[in-house]
Amino acid sequence: MTLKRRKLLNGNESGLALAALSSADLGAIIRDRRKQLALTQLELAELANSGNRFIVEVENGKPTVQLQKVLDLVQLLGLELVVRAKTAREP
């Protein structure tokens, strides 16, 4: 395993939780994490064994990308996707 790949798998040290309510939101979170790790889209595509076009489409919020590939990308970036019941918002 390469040093860069180990760095990605160490995860998000900030502990910050972000809500993604759309494919565009999730794409923005993925883009921000990629930039946080100082990776280009091409470098991330190579690490993910995918094409650069896939990374561009995910980051642009394309709603029809393959879910499993997105989940794999989220994991590679050291993030996790958590699904839980919404909490009630106070008015």
Q: Which domains does the chain have, with CATH numbers?
A: 21-76 (1.10.260.40)
Q: How far apart are CA 44 and CA 52, in angstroms?
A: 8
69 Cα distance to chain centroid: 10
pLDDT at 25: 94
Per residue in 64-83, pLDDT tens?
A: 999 999 999 999 999 999 98
Per residue in 11-63, pLDDT tens?
A: 445 566 788 889 999 999 999 999 999 999 999 999 999 999 999 999 999 99
Helices (H) and strands (E) counted in the chain, each on its own, are: 5, 0
Q: What is the value of pTM for the model shown?
A: 0.79
